[in-house]
Structure formats: C-alpha cells, structure tokens
Structure 1
Amino acid sequence: MKNNYSRLKWVALIILGGILFFLSKAANAAPTTPLFQQQQEVSGIVTDTNGLPIPGVSIIVKNTTRGVVTNLDGEYSIPAAPGDTLVFSYLGFKPVEIVLQQQQQVNVEMEEDISALGEVEINAGYYNTTERERTGSIARVTSEDIELQPIVNPIQALQGRMAGVEITQRGGAPGMAPKIRIRGQNSLRDTQNDNGNLPLYIIDGVPINSAPIPSYTVDISNTGIDPLNTIGLSNIASIEILKDADATAIYGSRGANGVVLITTKRGYAKKTAVSARYYSGMGQASRKMDLLNTQEYISIREQAFENDGVEPIVSNAFDLLVWDRDRYTDWQKDFFGGTAEIQNAQLSVSGGNKNTSLRLGSGYHKEGTVYPGDLDYQKVTTSLQVNHTSDNGKFNMDISLNYGADTNNFLHSLNSSLVSTAVNLPPNAPSIYNEDGTLNWEDWEAGNRTNPLAGLYNTSTTKSENLLANAGLFYELMKGLRLRANLGYTNYNSDELLKMPKRSYNPENWGSVSARSINSIVGRKSWLAEPQLIFNKQFGQNELDVLIGATFQQNSDSRITMSGYGYSAEAQIGNLMVAEDVIVNTDRTIDYRYNALFARIGYNWEKKLFLNLTARRDGSSRFGSNKRFANFGAVGAAWIFSEENFISDNLTFLSFGKLRGSFGTTGNDQIGDYGYLDAYESTQAPGGLIPIQLTNPNYSWEENRKIEAAISLGFFEDKLNTEVSWYRNRSSNQLVGFPLPSTTGFNTILANLPATVQNTGWEFVFTSRNISTRDFNWRTSFNISFPRNKLLEFPDIEQTAYANIYRIGEPLNINLLYRYIGIDPETGLYSVADINNDGSFDYQDRTVVRNNGRNYFGGIDNTFIYKNFSAQFLWEFVKQKGRSAFFQTGNVGNIVNQLQGVADSNNLQVPSQTTLAGRQYTLASNSSLTTTDASFLRLKTFSVAYNFPQVFTQRIGSTNGRIFLNGQNLLTFTPYKGLDPQDIGTYLPVLRTVTTGIELTF
C-alpha cells in the first residue's frame, strides 16, 4: 500500500515540479519569440442576419483555452495574435472561424443553424467537447433554466428537464436535500438514506462531499441538509450530468452513480457591466387532502360503535362526548395553510482588459414558512471568478471562489409531524390556543391528548458556511503541449442549536421535565491537487488529444454533538457553561484519502469518426490493505454518418446523423470510513471496551459495468433533432451485511457478496424549432425515460436479512405485500390470503410485489418569443404506483379523520374498533389493496417576461432590462388522493409559488 502511494506521489511531484519550473520561466519569458507573435486586443460585435446583437456567444482562440463570451450588446474583446483563428459559436447558429491578419476590429454576422448539435462547448469534466462530437451521454441545462426559479437548491431546477435523471423534492420546506438518481439505484446499502447511490458533485473542478449534513431536527422522511444549498443560483452558468461509462469512467470510483458538474459564470473582457435582479412573491402548499367534515366524521364514529355493539363512554369516545360536536376546524389550513413570503436579490459586476477578466456576483434569498410560528430560511452567497492570460498567451490562470452562508430556523421535526397530525386529527378537536394566546392544555387533557403544538416554543437554528476555492493553472510548453494544475479547497461548517424550554410542554409536567438543548457542530474540509499534461496534435485529417494526470485528495470530517440539561432560566438555554449536566453524544473526526492516476486518449478522423479511451487507477483509504487499489476504464466511439456522401446525397432531409456507443467500468467507495477495521466502544462502567465490528482486510470496491448505444438524428436543416439511447448498468460485488453464527458474538460482518443489481432503460430526447421568424419564435423540447431496475442475483439471499426486503428478479424499490382477497361477507372486514395455510401471516405469505419505482418519467418544455415578450412553461410527468392515501390515516371507525368517500367505498371494511378489525386493518394495510395509481402531470414552471425597448433603457442609462413573472408547481393532475404524488406519505407537499421581479444591466 505504501509503495503504491509513494509511486503516485513521485509521479505527482515530477509533474508539479515541471509546472512550477515552466511557470517560473513564463514569468520572465519574452513575448516576441518566433513561435508566439506579439498579441493584440481584438474586439468587435456579433450580430445575427437581422443585425441584432447576440449575447452569450462563445469566442475562443482555436487550440487554446483562451476564450470570452459576448455581453448583452453582443460585444467582445479578446487578446490574440496575427495567425490565430477565432472560433465563434452559439447554440442555434452556425459556427464561424476567422483567421486573424493585422486587424484589431472583427465584426461577425452569424447565421441561424436551428441546431442543438452545434459547436457550443460542453463541460465533460477533465476536458471539453461539443454536442456534435461527444461520444458519451451528457445532459446539460444552462443559467436561463435555473436562475429565475424561486428555489434554494440548484438540483431542484433539473426536475423534468433531463432524460435519465430522476429528482424528487422531499417536501416543501426549504433546505432539505432533494433525492437524485442518475439511471437508477445501484447499491443495496441503506436505500432509505441513499448511502451508496449518491452522484459525485463537482463545482468548478472541485469535488465536494455530496452526502447530506445530518440534522437533529430533520424527520425521517428527509435525509439531512444539502451542501449545495449555499451555492448561488444566479452564479451558475451551466449544469452538466455525466451518465454513461465513457463520460464517467475518468472519475473512476467516484463516477459509479453519475457525475454532476456545476460551472459558475465568468466575466466579460474589457467592458464593465453591472447587472441587478430582484424578485419577490409567495408560496403555499400545493395540495390538501379532501377530508371528512365534523358531521360526516361523527356519523362514521357512531356507526362504528353501533357495529361493535359498544356503548360510547368518555374513555373511548371523548371526541363524541367531551369535544364540541358542532365545532369544525380545517387543521390542514391551520397547520400548513399559511403563506410563505419569498424575496431574492442579486447583484453582479464583470469586466476586465485584454489580459484579465473578472466577475463578482452576490445574492440574498429569504423564504418564510407555511407553518405556524415565525420561521424562515435565509442565505447569502458570493462568487468571484478571475481569468488571466499572459501577454504571450502561454500562461493562463483561472481562479474561482464561491462562498455561501445560510441560516435555517425551521424546526422540521415539529413541522413534519404537524402535517401528519393535520390529516389525522378529528375535525371537532378543541382549539389550540386559549383566548389570551397561550397554548390550550386543559381541553386536550380532557380527551387524553396532548396539544399538537406541544414543542411550539422549541427553537432550532442551523447556521452553515461553505467555501469553495479552485485555481486552474495552464502553461503552453510548445504548440499542442500544455501543463495544467488543478488545485482546490473546500471548507464547510454547520452549527445546529436546538433549544427546548419548559414552556413548550404542559405546565403540569414541568416538575418531571427539564429545559435542555442539543448542539451539533459539523465540519468538512478537503483539499485537491491534480497535475496534468495535455497534448493536442493535428496531422492531416486526424486529430489526437492526450491527457495524463494524477489526483491527490484528502477529506476531513468532524462532528461533535452535546446535550445540556437543567437550565435555570430560559435565556440561558444553549449555554453549556451554566447547564447542570452536559453529555457528549458524538465526538469524532474522520480522515479520508483518495489518490489516482488517470489518462484519456481522444482521436477523430475528418471530424466524423471519434474514439475516446479513458483509464484510471484509484486508491481509497476506505478499504483494507489487500483491496485498496482498483482499475477502471471505458471506451467510447461515435460515427457521424451524415457526413458520408452516400447519406448526404440521397437523404437530403437528414441534416445530421450520429451513432455512438460506450462500454466501461466504474467503481463505488461510498461506504463508511474504517469499515475494514476492528472497532470497539466503551462500556457504561468505566474502564471497559466492547467489540462492535470485526476486521475484514478484503473489504473492497463495488463495481459498476456500463454499456450504452445511441443514435442522434437531425432533420430538415436541424429544425427537428432527436436522440435515442439504450443503456445497461450492472453493479456487482455488493457491499452488504453477511450473516454470522451467533457463536461469534456478531450478527453480521460487512463484506462483498456476488449480488448484482441491474439498471436498463431507454431514453428519448426531442428538440424542435417549430416556428422561426423575425418577430415570432417557438421552440419545444421533450424527454422521456423508461427505466428498469432489478436484483439480478443474490446467492443465498434467504440466509440474510435482505430476504424480507428484496426478491431476485424484482426491482430494489419494492414492497412485499399480502394478497388481498376481498371483504369477508360474514364479518365485513378485510381478508388476505394465507398462502401456506399455516394459520399465521409472515413474509412467506407476502407474495405480491409492488414496484414503487417510476415506469416512465419526463418533461415537455415550450418557449415562445414574440418581439419583446417571451413565455416558457415546463410540464413534468411521472407514471408510477404508490400506497393509497386511504391507508395513511388509520382504521375506519377509530379516532382519526378519513378521506372523503370512505363511507361509499366498497373496498373498505365496515367501521369498527374491535381488536379483530384492527388486526385485519393492519394486514390489509400491508396487502395489494393499498396499491394505487400515483402518476401525475405537473406544471413545474411557468414564466412570462417583457424586455424593455431600447428607447426606454437608454433613457435610464441601462443597456438591457426586463420584468418577469415566474410560477412553480401551479397545477397538478393526478388520481392520487394524498398530499403529494411525488413524495408518497403525509409530508408537506411542494409549494405552489408565484414571484415577480425586475432585472437591469448597466
């Protein structure tokens, strides 16, 4: 192990030494060498054929990394030398190449290509490619799809926009980590918390820990706080998702579940531009359940007593005999029916000269709550990007700094329970508050209940800070040969303080409860160094790109959790110095080290045959010494067959055609640290240790073998484009708990077993330019995915605890259910099948499998532009099954509210409170009866904007401006009767939000 690490370090030191040597030479290099002529500033304006300026056009000096984009007036400025070739590219326009002579002013007119297959660069991680030339599966969204959405996390902006990318927003409260799956679930481990199934997040070349931050106030339906919350949406230029082996294998063990690349915006050269944006609005819960009113509820309750032949008394019918039978409260309205105010402000400044450009962007976001109480979420973000090129063009430096700080005051554990309480609480339950505004305890005690807002005066504040820093250094040794160093640093800190004063609880219990606090401090730090050598050579019709590099990364995660008890005054809660007792629940620091060598060879012939080879050797400290290193690699190829004469001459309607495919292996080290070591914990009595984990030196990587085939087609001069992809991913060598004999003293040992999970699927993407005139444009994009997931093999699964969770040949996201056989005509109660006729019901009788995964999903996006007006709307659709909302409350007849229609349904048992009725309800709630259609069609985003005419903007000294209105989750069509078909259960549904704002650029 040490020898392998030493070899990697020596390779890195040699490359880094070479970089430092040539950088020192570059500082004193004369700019007038024969190979590199004196550069000059070249500027101009880029327009379309109608003479209108085109903002955002990419201009690069060919075969270099130097590049800029046009500003809102279509202007640009870039350092270049005579003989250099400037390449102008923009989505929807044909690329333009101009060889410079001595001119310093170059104005360019670009012709519409109506193509999504143009030359706009796509970030593929360690290198850039284009939509036309890519051999891998890469999906992309740009800033215009992200920045105006009133959301906290950038991942939420991807819903419905990408084939093969499944995103679930967990509830409507801000700050919670959304669930993202790229082409399915690969790992068996901890499916509830996504451990082993998280993608790799990379921001400006710096990988960050994608695992959500643990929280004491986040309920079980969520998985913590997302580290991406502190990224400013207005600072993001694009998000790319790498999916197949060709795209992800260069990331080795970190790319098994896909890669999410986030690129922040860069500055314009020369001209200084100031842009300001502000919007505000409101959000409300997008759905409520249609529940019984008081009269309907009482009727069901009285029918239950009649069916059971039981006399109502105070102990079993306090809702009928003690509580007001004429009272009605819409608890959903009271508990999560409020309005959350939303405010957002952004300011950015960009500019520079012929050598240096920079951009500084800052933002503020505040979001209120739909719950009772004064709760909110706030964040402040800042982003700085600096690009510098030396006079001779040989040295280039990119520096990126992203900083974000947020404060989350949501007490999620209470808020989430309020949603469930609002659904279940009888509509005639007493008031929450007394007339003087204090909590009403007396009336609730009469019904042997606790006030649902017990804990209202508890407070939770989570403060987070996140710093991401990256420096990319380039030096051109000679034409076609460059050295590069990618250096990164991250520092994330989170401080959560939960205060629980006595007044949150019934005063009669104050003698037995103590004011207390919980303080959790989480820290994550990492550094990254990646020296690289890049070679590019053109010879005739051939082009060769070679990349060789190394990765050195170290992470340090720490967490300390402390509880304080016995505070004498409420104002002192949280100050551990004055607490009577302090208990340290968690105190740990974990170090993780990761090293790698990687290489890529890219070759193309005549820009129509492409071959991409990638390889990586990874070493991870999470594995035992016997299995610490592993090799990964992939092959990708593409053929643009529309360039062949026999195609172009005969199929004139086909403007573009490409076949591509890939095959390769990636790995997965998303496991706990130190899992291969013996572990002990101290006994309750001092001086003792108890073994809690056995050593396993052969504990090793999971492997994911990926294969893909795809075809891309463009018709009628690329007015209609489509791509069809088929993929198959097999994840094997699964890390699971292997059962041990009880004589060992341990139930399981974490080990690699030859279990294999397979994900297959079809993905279809269509884009079209339906109408394109001077005054009116209409564009459409559509994607749909058909994923299939199954456990392909798991030897001796019946000997493990997984036997009650999974079935061979079935998906991982399933429920094992009893077979429902109907209502027993004699009792009027539910009945399920006893498969083995043994008189008992256990997992051997659960023969029905419900797939909770998506059968298909996708989105359709339309954009309309008429003169200065524009409108855009995105529909998201999902076909899936889920658990019926009728079984999310309780047995009909108990002291719980029910859905409308419960009295008229032939599939529900008669109202009853007997033990037998409760038992049959429990069996039925785990049977095929609960399966329902949970598909939905949702208007995910809708926006309208008006661009100010130039006459107006000139009067106010602005170069550009617009007003806009944005809506989120405005409409949802679904047969599902629960709160949110996207996240099945009694959780807060996503918010329906409407915001309006203004943007000006000077």
Structure 2
Amino acid sequence: MKKNLLMTFVLAFFTLTSLIAQDRKITGKVTSAEDGSGLPGVTVSIKGTNKGTQTNVDGSYSVSVPSASTTLVFSFVGLNTQSVSVGNQSVINVALSTDSRQLSEVVVTGYSSIQKRTFSGATANISSKEVAKQPFGSFDQALQGAATGVSVMANGGQPGQQAVVRIRGNGSINGVNTPLFIMDGVEISAADFQTMNQGDFESIEVLKDAVSTGIYGSRGANGVFVITTKRGKAGQVQINYDYQLGQSTMPEDRLIVMNSEEKIKYELQRGNPYGWSKAESDSLSKVNFSWRDELFRTAKTEQHQISATGGNEASKFYASLAYMDQEGIVKTTGLKRYTVRANVDNTVKNFKFGLGIQGGFSDRTNTSEANTFLSSPLNAIRWSNPYEVAQLPDGSYNQSGGAGTGQLGSGQPNGAMELFLNYNFNKQIKGIATSYLEYHIPAVKGLFLRTNWGVDYTQNENAAFTDPRVSGGIARQGILTRAMNRNFRFTGTTSVNYNATFGKHEISAGVFGELIKNDFRSFQFTGYGFTNGFTNEAGITPGTATTPNYIPAVAGNGEQYGLMSAFATVNYGYDGKYFLNVVARRDGSSRFGLNNKWANFGSVGAVWLASEEAFIRDIAFISSLKFRASYGTTGNNGADLYPIPQFGRTSYAGVGAWTPSVPGNPSLTWEINSTANIGVDFSVMKNRINGTVEVYSRNTTDQFYNLPVDPSAGGFTSIQSNFGEVQNQGIEFSLNADIIKTGSFTWNIGGNISYNKNEIVALPQDNVISGVTVLSKGSPINTLFLVPFAGVDPETGNALYTKLDGTKTQTFNVADKIKYGTSDAPLFGGLTTRLSYAGFDLSAQANFFLGREMYNNDLNNIINPTYYWDNMHISVLNEWTPTNKITDVPRPGNPYRAQTSRLIDDASFWRLRNVTLGYTFNANTLKKIKVRSARVFVQGQNLFTITKFRGFDPEATGTSLTGAQYPSLVQTTFGLSIGF
C-alpha cells in the first residue's frame, strides 16, 4: 500500500513538473532606456516559433513560453531589438534603447507611423533641430535645401515673411500649388508661420508621392508636411533654456546706380533738364547722399525659449514659453512674437488621451515691397537722385519739389517721409488646440480605436496709415485703413485600427472618417481727413454731403467650406521581404456643384526588401537594399471656385443693387493628380554610406482654367472650367556618408539634388500671353516670352532685334517674341557637412538653384532713358553716341522697348545658407554645478552668394523682379542652450 502511494505521488509530481515545463507564464514590463516610461505595442516574440504578444498601453506583457523555447525577442520600430534568455525566470523586464538608424526610417504620416523599410512611399525627414536653430521668423525658410523634391524660395526678407514652397513642381495653372501642412493631425495655415515657434517641433516629415499623400486625398495634391510637436517624457522634470542674439545686414547689391558725379554728368549730356548752373552742378556732384544708408540699418535679433518636460508613466507633459524680437534691415520694420505651448499625455489602463494647446501673438511692422509704386520707400534707393538728401540741415524733410508736396525736386516722393511718417502694422493672434482619445480593446490584441479633434484659429488686424504730409496722403489729408479678419477651422478624425503578426505575415489596417470645416470672415474700413494730429481712428474727419472727400469706404467678405471624407489603409508584409501598401479615399467638397461634390482617390505601392534575400544577405558590402514602386491619384479642390453664379454689390442711380460678378459653372469638377514613383534605397559599408534615388511622373488633368467666352452671351469674358493638363517629371538623388567615424572624431557629408521638368501638355487654346510670360504646350508654366534683343546698330545707335526667321531688324514687333526659360529652377538641391571632435562641432549647408531665368523689371526702370530725370543704372553711361559706337546701350531718343530679352537675367545661384560652430560641455563637468547639459554656438545665414543676377538677391519669387525688393538677410547669431 505504501509502495503504491509512493508511486502515485512520484507519477503526479513528474506529471505536474512536465505540465509546467511545457507551458510556463512569463510576465514583465518593457520601458524606454532614455526616460523609463512604459512602451506600448512592443512585439514580444518567442524565438523559433510563430507565437508572441504585444505590450499593453503601460508597457506590461504576459506570454506563455513552451519548454523547448529559451529566448524572448523584444522589438519595436525605432528601438534596438533585444534578445533575452528565459532560463528559470518568470519575470523579465526589459529597457529598449533608441536605434538612431531605424528612428530616421520611421515615417510619420499624420494619421499613423510606419516603418520606412516596409513603406513604398516617397518621403523625406527634415531635422527639426536644424530648423529650430535657424533664426527665421517664418520657419518654412529653414526648409530650403533640406530634402529632395522640395523647392523653398524666400518670398522677401521682411521678418516673418512666408516662403514659397513647392513639392515636385507646380501642378496647377490657376489652382493652389501650396503643400498641405499638418501639425499633430490638424491642418494649419501656411500663411501664419510668423506666429509659430519651430523650437516646439519634434519631427518634420515630407510626403511626396501618391501612396504617402493619398491618405489626405484632395488635400494632399501638392504634397504634405507632417509636423509633430514635442511630447512629455516620464521622469524627473527637466528644464531647458535656449537663447540667441545676433544681427542682420544687407546682402551685396549687384544693381549699381549712378553716384552724384555720374548722374550730373549724364544730365548735362541729356540737355541739363533741371537747368543747373555751373556752380550748382559742381556742388551737387559732390553730395553722394546714400538713400540706402538712410532707409536701411544693421538690425538686431533676439530669441528666448524656456521649456519643461516631465511626469510619470501615467501622465507626462511638455510646456514651453518663447519670445522673438527680430528687427528688419529696413528701418521701422520688424517682428515681435510671443508663443506658449502645453502638451499633456495620459494613460489609464487601456485608455490613452492627450491635449495640446498652442497660443501665439505676433506684432509685425511691414513696408511696401515687390511693386513699382512711387510711394514705396524701397524704390527710393533706385530712383531717387544721389544729390537729393532726405532731410535739410534744419532737420525738416526735403520737399524741394514744392512745399507741402512731400516730393523731391525730381518729383519722386521723399522715401524717408514715406517710411518714417507712414506705418503698416500687422497683429496676429494664433491658437491651435488638439486632443485625442485612444482605446486598446483588451479582448483583441492589436485592435484599437482613436479619435483626434483639433482647431486652428487665426485672427489678423492690419492698420495702414498714410500721413497727410506725404505725397499720397495730401489729396484726402491722410488715410487710415483698418482691416480685421478671422479664420476658424476644425478637423475631426475617428478611426478603427488593427495590427497583427501571423507567422510570416504582418498586417496593419485602419478605417477612418474625417470632417473638416472652415469659416472665414473679414471687415475693412478706410477713413480720411487727419487734421487734428492723431494718426489713429481719433483723427478721422467724418464725411458728409458737404465734405464728400472724407466719406469713409467700407468692405467685408465671408466664406465657408467643408470637406467630408472616408478612407482606409492596408499595409501587408510577408516574410520580412515583401510589402504592399494600399490607400482608398472618398472625398466630398462643398466647393463643387451637386453632381461633382464627391470623388474617389486611391493608391497602391509595393516594396521588395532585397537585402533580406539570402543571395544578397551574404554580400558583406551591402547593408540594406530596397526597391519600391507606387501609383495613385489625389485631387485638388482649389480655392475660390464657383460652381454657381455669384452676385456682388453695386448701385444704380444712387440705389443699392446686386449684379452678377461670376458666371458659375455647375460642371466644374476636381483637378486630378496621377503620380507614378519608383525608388531605390540603399546603404553600404555597414551603413556608413546610404542614399536614395527616386524617379517620378506627376500628371495633373482637368486643370482649373478660365476659359474665354464671348461676352455678348452674358457679359462675362471667361468662365471657370476644367481644361488642360500639366506634367511634372523628375529624378531625385540623395547621399549621406560617414567619412570618418571614430570614438572622438566624426566627419559626415551629405547632399541632395533634384531635377524637375515641368511641361504644359494640353490647353484649350495655345500660346496664351500674359505680360512677359506665355502658357504654351510643350513649355513650362511661367515661361518667359520676349523679343530677342540683338544689340545696337553701330551706325545708327538704334536697338536691333532678331526676327523669327533669324534676321536682324531695327523694328520692334511683338510677333517676333520667342520662348525663353522659366523662373522655376528645374535643378536644385543642397550640400551639407558636419565635423565633431571632443565636444566641438562644425557644420555647413550650401544650397543651389540652377537653370532659373527672371525678367528684371527693377533694372527696366533704371535703364529706360525716358526716366533720366531720376537716378539710373551705371550701364546707361555707356549708351551709344557718335563717339561711342561699339556698345549694347541704344542711343537716347531711340524708342525704348521693355519686352525684350535685354531684361532677362540668369537667376541661378549658389548660396552658403548656414554655417555653425558649437561646443558642448562635458556632462561630468556640468554635474559639479548641477547643470544637466550646456552648449554654445555661433552661426551665420546667407554669408555669401554666387550669382549673375543683377539685384540685391536672386532668391526672388515669381517670373519678374517687379521692384521695391526687400532682400534676404545676412545674419550672424550667438546661441546658448542650457539644461537643468
């Protein structure tokens, strides 16, 4: 009996032991090695099997491990994979560190994140640290040269000025070509960057092709910038302070006007129009007053930012305060900006929720630019005679054109009066708020729900005053225009998402619903009669029937539009080598008629991770090799579209009435972008060298086009329609290499180059001329169209022109116009290098734009011999005379023609965009003074430029340098960053 009991006990013991050995439970938690916070969604796989699990929202996990298995593998996108031997452990906690190589290959689409190795889209990541350190009032200017396919041109040097950004060329003739900007899932207005602090940005992702932008449907037609702001990190509260102080100066001026001696000499040659006596001409020849020095200055820039981050695993926060004061190089201009941001993230069991708030206020003082107005002070540096001073010895303004006229003797307005007596103030209040709620369903691993809502609110106030003493304000004794507008846009996105791995198969999918609504309102009034000394509303004289000159003018406007969308994404992978990305979206826009409100868009892409194949894996030289291809469509719902007739205000016989203003077209429909993309990503020599090659073709059909119609049919000369096709084809190449990489010294170089060929494929009517440009099949948008200038006939001094048959003639004929180049650079890119040694770092970035041509209207206004009363370009001194026959400047009296190739400039340029020298203090040394980190640096922006362009700055936008140019700033800055 005892023997039987013993045998039963032994059998039960071994059975129980066997059962435990066959399947035992392992629990634990996966945290971040950087801050100790729990990591949700980490894959915990059992090596050698298809079994595994994912960590919960707080990073915890539980997995059953068979007895034959000895190792757990922990992996997550952007983190170093870690393998842990199970042994006899029942609790295994793991801290995963950041894999800097993989982190750069995580694509943030705005709706989700996906590992770049599995993604077929054309994307680029821009360093938010590099953008943050550059002292631009509008952060988009810091994007120049940072990514292939992205063209960024400064739209002037006024502090806070928005840049012109294009991704893979202009796709629309009359529609919108501006990319979409998304911040934390919410659309933001590109025109409002002056009130945003780039120091709050965590990452900036550029989406370029149909697979990457297709998730945005009609909003992604021109590419997308996805910006994510900094979030909190668990752990002890960390405080950071960043400071910059610098100065800005003018760039080199390559458009040289005459000095006093040259101008007086020229006037005497032209018959002495002002009737100077010998004594007067001798005296005036020595004046050489600098209108540049009168209106420009060396300007100061100052920035402060303090930020804090901290919390615990359940609740984390990030907050910042920032201030920027940037003077403009034109006196009186500048930008002051105040911003505040707070981001809070919380985790409660299976819920995650968060809130982000940004508030900003900017106070911007502008001056008139990019025009040929006589009243624009910036035109005075070209047009005002160098012997005419701004102020007289007694301190009063020079009005030698007549007392109380505000004009110089030449008849030009006194530019100093225009700048210092007038003002143009722009104040902006900006508010962005985002919130999200995410729920991970416990019963189904990898299934979660998420809703994200946000608003973008902007309020602008403009006050423009024209003093009654300046030439433009005399007639109505001063003018004050006060304009206010506000724009409110909300975006709501709700989704169901699922991620899972089944053996060699991995899938992630999401179904989304989205609603966007925009509401815009504006109001403006203009008052007159400033006779009591006030320069604001208190100075306005009420207008009456007896003083009609003072009757104020009022205006207002309003617009609402909405977009409703449903879309889905599916990403599938097999065996870690083959991946498929699919996007399908249906958009409904209020900007179209009933029959065309809805449109379908979609894209598909495939990836072959060739380096995972056995026959390539054994090639030690190749670290990674990926081939990808995609094709898809997106739409453009433009702006200012009118599917139904519009009416405007008018009056008849003193009675208010309505009148048709836009004919409307119920058949108006979407512009469609179809994009094909092929890309190769590679890295060699243990990732020391990596690069990307992209080839793409982007076709935009059903162009928004104002089709000319017979006005006798309804009084309108054109109607909005859908005609024409534009194509952009290009190739992009980027390369990055670690030349030297040792423990104490590193040297990295990188570069990117993009070529984009823009071509009009179809038009309802060919060769549509607009000023100095033409829309023509087979040519790019913004193609210059001018008569060829062939020099000067040495016998007559008359200008020569080339006819279409190639012969020379002295007769100007617009029928001889031919096509020249375009102002949109087909070839552009950037080069970078960075060296670091023992705490020191030196970096530099050079950008280039090649193949640009621009019409130089600024030059046109100072070589026109009929304007010789004002200052002129020095080349005019070489005009033809009987004793100076070999020249390219026609004789005085020869009819001057502006629309010739004589005024085309090569606007290509190379520019040293940024140079930074910094030193990071040793952490062990800083501990002694209880400082966590510290770095000092000096940097320069736009330090030199190589160009043939005749003007301040070749980085002008549009087809013509109109005039009144406010050039890009040459800046030097000292910076300090301290962490506590």
Fold conserved (TM > 0.5)? Answer: yes
CA 1:425–1:145: 2 relative to 1, 3 Å: same
SS at match of 1:295: helix
TM-aligned CA deviation for residue 312 of structure 1:
2.5
| Structure 1 counterpart of 2:734, one-letter code | V
Alignment correspondent of 1:368? 327
Q: Deviations over 1:292-326 (max 9, x none)?
A: 333333444444x3xxxxx4342799998598122
- Of 912, 915, 926, 2:899 maps to 926
| d(CA) in 1 for partners of 2:768, 2:538 | 50
| Structure 1 counterpart of 2:489, one-letter code | S
1:425 corresponds to 2:384: yes
Gapped runs of 5+ residues in structure 2?
A: 1-24, 45-55, 64-72, 402-406, 544-549, 880-884
1:882 corresponds to 2:882: no
TM-aligned CA deviation for residue 271 of structure 1:
1.8
Alignment correspondent of 2:658? 689
| d(CA) in 2 for partners of 1:802, 1:423 | 23
- Of 611, 632, 641, 1:664 maps to 632
| d(CA) in 2 for partners of 1:935, 1:78 | 53
Alignment correspondent of 1:758? 727
| d(CA) in 2 for partners of 1:64, 1:560 | 56
CA 1:573–1:317: 2 relative to 1, 3 Å: farther
Alignment correspondent of 1:265? 230
1:847 corresponds to 2:818: yes
Q: Is the 8 A contact 1:608 1:641 kept in 2?
A: yes
- Of 183, 208, 218, 1:203 maps to 183
Structure 1 residues 568-587: aligned runs within 5 Å: 568-571=531-534, 573-575=536-538, 579-580=542-543, 581=550, 583-587=552-556
Q: Is the 8 A contact 1:878 1:936 kept in 2?
A: yes
TM-aligned CA deviation for residue 500 of structure 1:
2.5
Figure out how many residues of one structure are paired with residues of the other and give that number. 900
Alignment correspondent of 1:187? 172
TM-aligned CA deviation for residue 63 of structure 1:
5.2
CA 1:593–1:250: 2 relative to 1, 3 Å: same
Q: Is the 8 A contact 1:516 1:573 kept in 2?
A: no
SS at match of 2:120: coil
- Of 153, 157, 161, 1:176 maps to 161
Alignment correspondent of 2:316? 357
Alignment correspondent of 2:260? 294
| d(CA) in 2 for partners of 1:811, 1:789 | 5
Q: Deviations over 1:813-840 (max 9, x none)?
A: 2110112233123321322235499998
SS at match of 2:775: coil
CA 1:357–1:743: 2 relative to 1, 3 Å: same
CA 1:529–1:296: 2 relative to 1, 3 Å: same
| Structure 2 counterpart of 1:967, one-letter code | G
| d(CA) in 2 for partners of 1:186, 1:61 | 41
Q: Is the 8 A contact 1:416 1:988 kept in 2?
A: no
TM-aligned CA deviation for residue 673 of structure 1:
4.9
1:522 corresponds to 2:485: yes
Q: Deviations over 1:936-959 (max 9, x none)?
A: 111101111111223442232111
SS at match of 2:949: coil
Q: Is the 8 A contact 1:43 1:78 kept in 2?
A: no
1:531 corresponds to 2:494: yes
Q: Is the 8 A contact 1:969 1:993 kept in 2?
A: yes
| d(CA) in 1 for partners of 2:278, 2:189 | 52
1:62 corresponds to 2:41: yes
CA 1:387–1:955: 2 relative to 1, 3 Å: same
SS at match of 1:531: strand
Alignment correspondent of 1:234? 199
Alignment correspondent of 2:146? 161
Q: Is the 8 A contact 2:740 2:746 kept in 1?
A: yes
Alignment correspondent of 1:18? none
| Structure 2 counterpart of 1:437, one-letter code | G
| d(CA) in 2 for partners of 1:291, 1:446 | 18
SS at match of 2:133: coil
Alignment correspondent of 1:386? 344
| d(CA) in 2 for partners of 1:892, 1:88 | 71
Alignment correspondent of 1:700? 669
Aligned-residue RMSD, C-alpha: 3.2
Q: Is the 8 A contact 2:30 2:39 kept in 1?
A: no
Q: Is the 8 A contact 1:343 1:365 kept in 2?
A: yes
CA 1:149–1:781: 2 relative to 1, 3 Å: same
| Structure 1 counterpart of 2:218, one-letter code | S
Judge which range, 738-747 or 857-866, deviates more.
Answer: 738-747
CA 1:660–1:545: 2 relative to 1, 3 Å: same
Alignment correspondent of 1:331? 291
| d(CA) in 1 for partners of 2:282, 2:417 | 21
| d(CA) in 1 for partners of 2:925, 2:266 | 65
SS at match of 1:600: strand
1:546 corresponds to 2:509: yes
1:873 corresponds to 2:844: yes
| d(CA) in 1 for partners of 2:839, 2:61 | 40
| d(CA) in 2 for partners of 1:134, 1:291 | 56
CA 1:521–1:318: 2 relative to 1, 3 Å: farther
| d(CA) in 2 for partners of 1:754, 1:718 | 48
Q: Is the 8 A contact 1:322 1:447 kept in 2?
A: no
Q: Deviations over 1:451-476 (max 9, x none)?
A: 22233311222110111111121111
| Structure 1 counterpart of 2:182, one-letter code | I
Alignment correspondent of 1:122? 107
SS at match of 1:435: coil
Alignment correspondent of 1:796? 765
Alignment correspondent of 2:704? 735
| d(CA) in 1 for partners of 2:514, 2:789 | 56
1:248 corresponds to 2:213: yes
| Structure 2 counterpart of 1:468, one-letter code | I
| Structure 2 counterpart of 1:563, one-letter code | T
Structure 1 residues 34-49: aligned runs within 5 Å: 45=33
| d(CA) in 2 for partners of 1:534, 1:964 | 45
CA 1:853–1:614: 2 relative to 1, 3 Å: same
| d(CA) in 2 for partners of 1:548, 1:317 | 84
SS at match of 1:646: helix
Alignment correspondent of 2:975? 997
| Structure 2 counterpart of 1:326, one-letter code | K
Q: Deviations over 1:357-416 (max 9, x none)?
A: 1000110000112223x44310011111111111x3x11113211111100122335999
| Structure 2 counterpart of 1:425, one-letter code | S
| d(CA) in 2 for partners of 1:587, 1:741 | 31
CA 1:376–1:695: 2 relative to 1, 3 Å: closer
TM-aligned CA deviation for residue 45 of structure 1:
4.2
Alignment correspondent of 1:10? none
| d(CA) in 2 for partners of 1:518, 1:857 | 41
| d(CA) in 2 for partners of 1:690, 1:282 | 53
CA 1:529–1:358: 2 relative to 1, 3 Å: same
TM-aligned CA deviation for residue 582 of structure 1:
5.6
TM-aligned CA deviation for residue 129 of structure 1:
1.6
CA 1:973–1:320: 2 relative to 1, 3 Å: farther
| Structure 2 counterpart of 1:854, one-letter code | A
| d(CA) in 2 for partners of 1:660, 1:629 | 31
Structure 1 residues 365-514: aligned runs within 5 Å: 365-372=324-331, 374-390=332-348, 392=349, 394-413=350-369, 417-428=376-387, 430-442=388-400, 445-455=408-418, 456-477=420-441, 478-505=444-471, 510=474, 512-514=475-477
Alignment correspondent of 1:314? 274
Alignment correspondent of 2:828? 857
Instruction: Tell me the percent identity.
Output: 26
SS at match of 1:454: helix
Judge which range, 523-532 or 930-939, deviates more.
Answer: 930-939
Judge which range, 518-527 or 474-483, deviates more.
Answer: 474-483
Q: Is the 8 A contact 2:453 2:493 kept in 1?
A: yes
| d(CA) in 1 for partners of 2:969, 2:278 | 35
Q: Deviations over 1:600-649 (max 9, x none)?
A: 11111122211111011111111111111111111111111111111223
Q: Is the 8 A contact 2:307 2:320 kept in 1?
A: yes
SS at match of 2:214: helix
| d(CA) in 2 for partners of 1:473, 1:322 | 79
Q: Deviations over 1:562-601 (max 9, x none)?
A: 1112244232622498644563532122111110111111
Alignment correspondent of 1:632? 601
